[in-house]
Amino acid sequence: MAVEGAGRHRISIDQVCIGLHIKLDSWLGHPFLFSSFKIKNAEQIATLRSMGLKEIEYLPAKSDTAPAPLPAAKEEPLPPSAAATADLEELMREKKARIETLSREREQIRAAERKYVKTANSVKNVMRLANNNPRHAAQLSGEVAAELADIFLAEQNPFIHLMGDHVADESAYFHSLNVTVLSLILARAMRIDDEATMRDIAQGAVLHDVGKAMVPSQILLKDEELTAAESKLLQMHPGYGIKLMQGVAELSNRVREIILFHHELADGSGYPKGVKAMELDPAVRIVTIANAYDNLCNQRIAKRSRTPSEALSHLYKNELAKYDQAALGAFIKALGIYPPGTIVKLKSERIGIVMSVDSADLLHPNLMLYDPAIPKETAAIVNLRRDLDDAIERTLRPAALPEAIHDYLSPRKRICYFVDHTSGG
CA-to-CA distance for 306 and 294, rounded, in angstroms? 10
Q: What does the pLDDT read at residue 220?
A: 87
pLDDT tens for 272-322 read 999 999 999 999 999 999 999 999 988 887 778 888 889 999 999 999 999
Give the residue with greater pLDDT, 44 vs 412. 44
The yes-or-no verdict on residue 2 having pLDDT over 80 is no
In sequence order, which residues have a C-beta less than 8 Å from that of residue 43 and are 6 or more positions away? none
The yes-or-no verdict on residue 352 having pLDDT over 70 is yes
- Give 167's pLDDT tier (boundaries 50, 70, 90): low
- Give 383's pLDDT tier (boundaries 50, 70, 90): confident
CA-to-CA distance for 219 and 212, rounded, in angstroms? 10
% of the chain at pLDDT higher than 70:
92
Domain boundaries, the chain: 3-70, 103-336
Q: What does the pLDDT read at residue 191?
A: 93
What average pLDDT does range 42-56 have in this prediction?
A: 87
Is the CB of residue 230 less than 8 Å from the CB of residue 219? yes
Lowest mean pLDDT, pick from 81-90, 218-227, 344-353: 81-90
Is the CB of residue 425 less than 8 Å from the CB of residue 105? yes
pLDDT tens for 251-261 read 999 999 999 99
CA-to-CA distance for 83 and 210, rounded, in angstroms? 68
Q: What does the pLDDT read at residue 65?
A: 93
**How many alpha carbons fall within 13 Å on the CB side of residue 79?**
2
Q: Mean pLDDT across the chain, nearest whole number?
A: 86
Closest by CA position to 160, among listed 144, 148, 175, 142: 148
- What CATH class is the domain 103-336? mainly alpha
What single letter denotes the amino acid at residue 229? A
